[in-house]
């Protein structure tokens, strides 16, 4: 057998002190174009950020002004009136609105997620007659405005069950699933490979155990996105509390109570802005700490249909 001789090419020595080749006009043009593109993209990003941030900054600065300064054109407080927030909390009923909103948003979100996951799992992973029809019904419910069915629903909850003046007509239906949450979770669960589920079934797991031990840990981003969507909806809901709880101030939420607060302090813009900041702050904090899971869940949802 003939032996092959390996020929080694000596590495080329590069003198660091040697002059670099001159930059050609084409390379100079390309670099200039890349720099201009970088400046344009970042300028648009900064402009968009300011577009969304400046109104919030204006609200915060106004909330820290004195009563007289809010009626001027000043943008920065002369004296930082942190006591405005204390005055808002001392307003009769404000803490009750907080408690009601936390109950509505917290319990409602938990019920929506718990009731929507099994339905979404069945629509995503089970093969049964009428599955496509069921999915079309869910999508149809997403397109149905709540104002269309508000009259019969109000008559049912208020006249038949005598629950007007409370938030229970808004909380109890969340225990039966939400069309948007079901559809969003179904789209996310479709991205989970069936091989994982088949392996769990081979190991002796039933459908419930497969859902709890395999599907739920892999669906955390989608569940987080659904939970945040539902929490934001319940926290900002004005229409529902206006219909069912308007007759009972003890059942008002922050979104509905803020309208009453603004009417009582229509000239005290600093207190109105302070109350607005206190209403927005929990939503901003929740999104700030959960934005990674939220963005991941929304990005991955809908990859597979």
pLDDT in tens, 74-131: 888 888 888 889 888 888 888 999 999 999 999 999 999 999 999 999 998 888 888 8
pLDDT the model gives residue 112 = 94
pLDDT in tens, 249-289: 899 999 888 888 887 777 788 888 999 898 888 888 888 87
Closest CA to 112 of 180, 40, 13, 196: 180
| The total number of residues written for the chain in this structure | 305
| CA 134 to chain centroid | 26
DSSP H stretches of helix in 172-268? 179-189, 194-202, 207-210, 216-218, 220-236, 239-244, 254-264
Q: Which two tokens stand for residue 97?
A: 């609105």
Read off the pTM: 0.79
Between residues 169 and 15, which one has the greater pLDDT? 169
Q: Find all residues with CB under 8 Å of 257, minimum gap 6, and list them.
A: 93, 94, 97, 249
Under 8 Å between Cβ of 144 and 178? no
pLDDT the model gives residue 25 = 78
Predicted confidence band at 158 (pLDDT cuts at 50, 70, 90)?
A: confident
DSSP state letter for 18: S
Burial class (CB in 10 A: 0-12, 13-18, 19+), 267: exposed
Please compute the mean of the pLDDT values over residues 171-199 and round it to a whole number: 89
**Cα radius of gyration (the chain):** 29
Please compute the mean of the pLDDT values over residues 229-249 and round it to a whole number: 90
Closest CA to 260 of 103, 70, 165, 271: 271
């Amino acid at each position: 057998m003939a032996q092959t001789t390996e020929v080694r090419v000596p590495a080329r020595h590069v003198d660091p002190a040697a002059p670099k080749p001159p930059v050609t006009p084409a390379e100079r043009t390309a670099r200039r174009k890349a720099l201009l593109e970088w400046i344009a993209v970042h300028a648009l990003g900064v402009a968009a950020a300011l577009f969304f941030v400046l109104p919030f900054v204006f609200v915060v600065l106004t909330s820290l002004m004195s009563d007289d300064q809010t009626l001027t054109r000043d943008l920065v407080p002369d004296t930082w009136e942190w006591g405005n927030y204390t005055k808002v909390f001392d307003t009769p009923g404000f803490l009750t609105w907080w408690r009601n909103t936390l109950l509505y948003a917290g319990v409602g979100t938990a019920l929506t997620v718990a009731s929507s996951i099994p339905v979404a799992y069945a629509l995503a992973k089970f093969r049964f007659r009428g599955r496509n029809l069921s999915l079309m019904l869910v999508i149809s419910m997403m397109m149905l405005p709540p104002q269309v069915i508000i009259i019969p629903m109000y008559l049912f909850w208020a006249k038949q069950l005598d629950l007007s003046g409370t938030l229970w007509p808004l909380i109890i239906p969340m225990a039966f699933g939400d069309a948007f949450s079901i559809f969003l979770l179904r789209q996310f669960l479709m991205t989970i490979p069936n091989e994982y589920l088949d392996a769990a079934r081979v190991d002796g797991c039933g459908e419930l155990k497969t859902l709890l031990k395999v599907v739920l840990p892999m669906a955390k981003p989608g569940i987080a996105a659904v939970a945040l969507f539902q929490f934001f909806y319940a926290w900002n809901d004005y229409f529902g509390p206006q219909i069912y709880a308007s007759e009972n101030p003890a059942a008002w939420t922050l979104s509905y109570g803020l309208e009453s607060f603004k009417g009582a302090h229509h000239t005290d813009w600093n207190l109105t802005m302070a109350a607005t900041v206190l209403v927005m702050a929990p939503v901003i904090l929740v999104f700030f700490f959960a934005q990674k899971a939220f963005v991941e869940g929304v990005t991955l949802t809908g990859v597979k249909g």
